[in-house]
Amino acid sequence: MNARILAWACLALVLLATVSAEVSQVRLSTVRINGENASNESVVLKGDTRATVQVDFWSTRDLDDVRVEAFLSPSGEVSSAVLDMEEELIYSQRLSVQVPDEAGDYDLVVHIQHDNTSYVRRYPLIVERQEHGLVVQSIEFNPEVAQGGRSLGVHVVVLNDGSSRERVRVQATLLGEQQQSWIDVD
């Protein structure tokens, strides 16, 4: 019984060593987010934009069909590329990820995969609100049809989704008449 357990333990060690060797074939050199080096310290991004992720990596041997992926966690779209690699050459892959509009803490996940092996690295990100981010939510006219000799009321709902206070000019030109007003949007 002890010999059988010892044999299984040896087999497990051999398999683990084989898997470890497979995982270490691809080495990550650097990751840049919008040109800034990613590290254990958070990179700050503006919300509702696209970020360029540049992944520099190399392999200890020739590999076919290596998949490089980048996405923001939680719940980001995956940007990926598949390529063949030659031993000891440095590859640089540019990917583009959508930065959510919601401010908060996120992780950039870089995933390099070949066959049944993979390398995953997470980089902390902070997403901030856009400085300027006005959204026109609705425009209502009263009455709905303009008629000569009657006043036309306009109701506009504007949401400031940015981080700074905005001053907006609202202008309506109808039948040669022009009315405008300035509003502050907090």
Q: Write down the pLDDT at residue 21.
A: 42
- Return the pLDDT at 61: 92
pLDDT at 68: 97
Can you give the pLDDT at residue 44?
92
**119 contact partners, CB below 8 Å, separation of at least 6:** 23, 26, 28, 111, 112, 113
Q: Which pTM value belongs to this model?
A: 0.62
Q: What is the residue extent of each domain of the chain?
A: 23-128, 134-185
Looking at residue 64, what is its pLDDT? 94
Output DSSP code: residue 10. H
**What pLDDT sits at residue 160?**
73
How much is the pLDDT for 24? Answer: 55
pLDDT of the residue at 108: 96
pLDDT at 2: 57
Q: Average pLDDT, whole number, for the chain?
A: 81
- Check residue 23 and give its pLDDT: 46
What pLDDT was estimated at residue 76? 82
- Coil, strand or helix at 57: strand
Considering the chain, what percentage of its residues have pLDDT values greater than 70?
76
Candidates 82, 83, 89, 81; CA nearest to 57 is 89
In terms of DSSP bridges, do strands 26-33 and 36-37 run parallel, antiparallel, or are they unpaired? Answer: antiparallel
* Whole-number pLDDT of residue 66: 95
pLDDT attached to residue 129: 78
Residues of the chain with confidence (pLDDT) below 70: 1-24, 130-133, 161-164, 172, 174-178, 186
In CATH terms, 23-128 corresponds, of 3.40.50.300, 2.60.40.770, 1.10.10.10, 3.10.420.10, to: 2.60.40.770
| Residues 109, 122: Cα–Cα separation, whole Å | 5
